[in-house]
Amino acid sequence: MSLKELISGWAKSGQIDWIGLRPERRRRMEVADAAMVSADGFDGDRGRAGKRAVTLIQKEHLSAIGSYMGRGPVTPDVLRRNLVVSGINLAALKGREVQVGDAILRITLICAPCSRMEEAFGKGGYSAVRGHGGWCAEVVQPGRVRLGDVLQPVD
């Protein structure tokens, strides 16, 4: 099997476990059962248009971040990502288009932690999130995303 074939493979689809919207900087996140993704990101979210329109994190990484700080899983609202996804490795989807609900996103960039992680988690919070802070995506096709929706590569 070629490297290209290996890279294009995926074991199973992921699932949307949590949806959060950031209406304003530093304001508490709003948790939703469903939300509309427009060309610039989620309606009602202060995301950035383009390659950072939507942010995603793997549910599996919430436990990893917590364990690096000697505690249980962290909650997704503290990390301020839009979608929590389980069951699929987002890093393996970099540069690829994914269907999530009615929308199509392209996974673009690592979503690096900000200095607020020290404020949120205490000393070492920034380092605990490094490499586990999720991914950014651009919107290829607007659409509605709901809890429980499948996330899978388009190609």
Task: Determine the average pLDDT of the residues in 117-124.
Answer: 87
Q: Residue 83 belongs to what domain range?
A: 3-153
pLDDT tens, position by position, 44-93: 998 778 888 999 999 999 999 999 999 999 999 999 999 999 999 999 99
Are 63 and 129 a contacting pair, CB within 8 Å? no
Vertex 29, ends 102 and 85: CA angle to 5°?
Answer: 45
Number of domains in the chain: 1
Report pLDDT for 46.
Answer: 85
pLDDT tens, position by position, 97-119: 999 999 999 999 999 888 788 88
Which CATH number do you get for residue 118?
2.40.33.20
Q: Which residue did the predictor score with more confidence, 115 or 42?
A: 42
Helix (H), strand (E), coil (C) string for the chain: CCHHHHHHCCCCCEEEEEEEECCCCCCCCEEECEEEEECCEECCCCCCCCCCCEEEEEHHHHHHHHHHCCCCCCCHHHHCCCEEEECCCHHHHCCCEEEECCEEEEEEEECCCCCHHHHHHCCCHHHHHCCCCCEEEEEEECEEEECCCEEEECC
Are 80 and 93 a contacting pair, CB within 8 Å? no
Mean pLDDT of the chain: 91
List the one residue out of 90, 88, 128 whose CA is nearest residue 110: 90
Report pLDDT for 84.
Answer: 98
Global pTM? 0.92
Question: For the chain, how far is it from start to end, CA to CA, in angstroms?
Answer: 18
